[in-house]
Structure 1
Amino acid sequence: MNWNSYIKSYQSYLKIERGLSKNTVANYSFDIERLCLFLAEHKMEISPLKIGEETIQQFIYAISSQVNARSQARIISGLKSFFSYLIFEDYRVDNPMELIEAPKTGRKLPDTLAVEEIDALIAAIDLSSNEGERNRAMLETLYGCGLRVSELVSLKISDLFFDEGFIKITGKGNKERFVPIANSTKRYILIYKDNVRGSVPVKKEFSDTLFLNRRGGQLSRAMVFTIISNLASKIGLTKKISPHTFRHSFATHLLENGADLRSIQLMLGHESITTTEVYLHLDRKFLTEVLENCHPRKNM
């Protein structure tokens, strides 16, 4: 088998046995394909069963000038996973990544928006069009429920449990969670669903998809990014933002207003609370206030 055959076999393993999403599988595959491109450019005809540490070190060195430390670490992690799979399937007996260390990246603090900036972005939406009502409902849902953009675009009408005050989200690894939804967010979703969505000729396979594009299909993640970027330009916002910025802002504002980390972890769908703990680093002033207000010796 050549590289492509092993990659396809690995993709099937990630999807079927590990239950990873299509996007995650694509990201894992991209790292291996990047290595394949490096081998082709340097006319190295080496199979995945024979490639050694020295060749991979050359590849890592070559990309170090093209990507940042965080991306390097992700690529190294992805390759380690691929070669571990080859060992698992008895294609190899050793992992050429064993002694290759990822660069130290530290912990990157997520970008956030102030409540006033979120209000300004949503206020800038042109509500005279059907797309405007949809866009308002989407941004309110992103910020109001802390969703990933992939979770937003795949949200289904049958996932809306408004009477119970929740929506059902299918997150990474097809893991489901129930996220509480505020009345204001429900209102904007219902305005779009009941008054606007029906005017779009819905494709049969997307009849249950909540947010639709003009052709009646599922919105792409790139389109949501474009919508947000255009609104940022419209109000003169200089911050570099994305759909994920609304998710970060959701978590940060909850923490600043007294929510506990465990609750935020459950709403975000983080498998480990360590991932959620990054938000503790965002507002040192808030942490000082917590100590002053909650410690038993605060008045001594």
Structure 2
Amino acid sequence: MWEPYKKGFKAYLQLERSLSDNSVEAYLHDVDKLTQYLQLTNNHAGPESLELKVLQGFIQSVAELGMTPTSQARIISGIRSFYKYCLIEQIVSADPSALLEAPKLKRALPDFLSFEEIEKMIAAIDLSKPDGGRNKAILETMYSCGVRVSELIGLKISCLYLDVGFIRVIGKGNKERLVPIGSDAIKYINLYKDSIRVHQPLKEGYQDILFLNKHGRPLSRIMIFYIIKDLAKKAGITKSISPHTFRHSFATHLVEGGADLRAVQEMLGHESITTTEIYTHLDRDYLRSTLNEYHPAFKK
């Protein structure tokens, strides 16, 4: 009895909310988990007759399976979105998920690299190898623009406006944004594009993709991960880092430098300012030294 509602929910997510395929699948997966729970507990209720206590029992069962608070919160978000759709379509007259409490989450502060550590990693690139120039352009772009990995590997030559210092990025939900790009990144993109990429074979359909592997195809997310891990090892950096660390570092350095959060939000492509606020984690020494220097009560 839930299948027609799931199909309608899928269409709502795709058409009205313009979500990516991955996001749509994640939301549908959350509703699937709920319907599996209903089957296991022999509950034949449809969305219109499901009560809060049933949803609470479902979340309790998820917690008992050992799912982390983050995963539980993610599922609750999916169920709430489903009921928002049900309200819009008048499938239900009241939302039983409205009072469903998500577990309290500790906001994990992402690891980030200092400017010196990023410089060390870039310096560790072997420019005598064919992929060296490409990798240098990749790292400079990641740090200069704070792009997601998916945005980096999908970056198109036709979306480069290097003469005016911008790139056009296609982010989550196919939303486009213009992001400023620094002079070093521009320099190394041009060097790669004009001196290395021109000598590579190009596979049909990928002529406009900027960063290619030796076979003329786009790089995979995993390949970017390996490049970053290898350079961190060569630079003697022991932090747990990934390509996303460059995005965290970009945002952290901007916020620490006094950048406006709204501007950082725009550059990162965050829908909500609360997502950007995680980057306000200035370290304690920095805060203490700022107080010592500027606050009358701390001055000796």
TM-score class, shorter-chain normalisation, is: 0.7 to 0.9
Task: Report the 3-state secondary structure (helix = DSSP H, G, I; strand = E; otherwise coil) of the residue aligned with 2:205.
Answer: helix
Contact 2:256 2:280 (C-alpha < 8 Å) held by counterparts? no
Tell me, in whole angstroms, the C-alpha distance in 1 between the residues paired with 2:202 and 2:10: 31
Matches of 1:216 and 1:43, distance apart in 2: 54
SS in 1 for 2:177: strand
Opposite residue 252 of structure 2, the aligned amino acid is: T
Work out the number of aligned pairs and report it: 299
User: In the alignment, does 2:211 pair up with 1:211?
Assistant: yes
In the other structure, the counterpart of 2:248 is: 248
Aligned to 1:9: 8
Partners of 2:87 and 2:93 within 8 A in 1? yes
Q: Spell out the pairing of 1:31-110 with structure 2 (5 A cutoff).
A: 31-38=30-37, 51-65=50-64, 66-110=66-110
> CA shift at 1:233, angstroms?
4.1
Secondary structure in 2 matching 1:204:
coil
Counterpart position of 2:27: 28
Q: Secondary structure at the match of 2:167?
A: strand
- Once the two structures are overlaid, the 10-residue window that deviates more, 157-166 or 51-60, is 51-60
SS of the residue corresponding to residue 167 of structure 1 reads strand
Per-residue deviation at 1:127? 3.5
Q: In 2 relative to 1, CA 296–264 (structure 1 residues): closer, same or farther, beyond 3 Å?
A: farther
CA distance 1:271–1:131, shift in 2 (3 Å):
same
What is the TM-score with the length of structure 1 in the denominator?
Answer: 0.83
1:253 deviates by 1.5
Q: Which sections of structure 2, spanning at least 5 residues, go unmatched?
A: none
> Compared with structure 1, are the counterparts of its residues 293 and 271 closer, same or farther at alpha carbon in structure 2 (3 Å cutoff)?
farther
In the alignment, which residue of structure 1 is the partner of 2:276? 276
- 142 and 30 in structure 1: CA distance in 2 versus 1, 3 angstrom threshold: farther
Relative to structure 1, the CA distance from residue 28 to residue 219 in structure 2 (aligned partners, 3 Å threshold; closer, same or farther) is farther
Tell me the CA shift for residue 186 of structure 1.
0.8
Task: Normalising by structure 2, report the TM-score.
Answer: 0.83
What is the CA distance between 1:250 and its match in structure 2?
A: 0.8
In 2: Cα distance, 1:81 partner to 1:160 partner: 36
Change (3 A) 1:49 1:137: farther
Supply the distance in 2 between the matched residues of 1:281 and 1:58 (Cα, whole angstroms): 36
Unaligned runs of 5+ in 1: none
Pair 164,90 (structure 1): closer, same or farther in 2 beyond 3 Å: same
Q: Is the 8 A contact 2:2 2:35 kept in 1?
A: no
Which amino acid is 1:99 matched to? Answer: L
Q: Deviations over 1:210-269 (max 9, x none)?
A: 122344333333332333234334445332222221111111112333433343233223
Aligned residue type for 1:19: S
Q: Which residue of 2 aligns with 1:115?
A: 115
Contact 1:256 1:286 in 2 (8 A): no
How big is the shift at 1:85?
Answer: 1.1
Partners of 2:32 and 2:79 lie apart in 1 by 10
After the TM superposition, which residues 231-242 of structure 1 pair with which residues of structure 2 at under 5 Å, given as runs? Answer: 231-242=231-242
Mark the CA change 1:58 to 1:130 in structure 2 (over 3 Å): closer, same or farther: farther
Kindly state the Cα deviation for residue 39 of structure 1 after the two structures are TM-superposed.
5.2
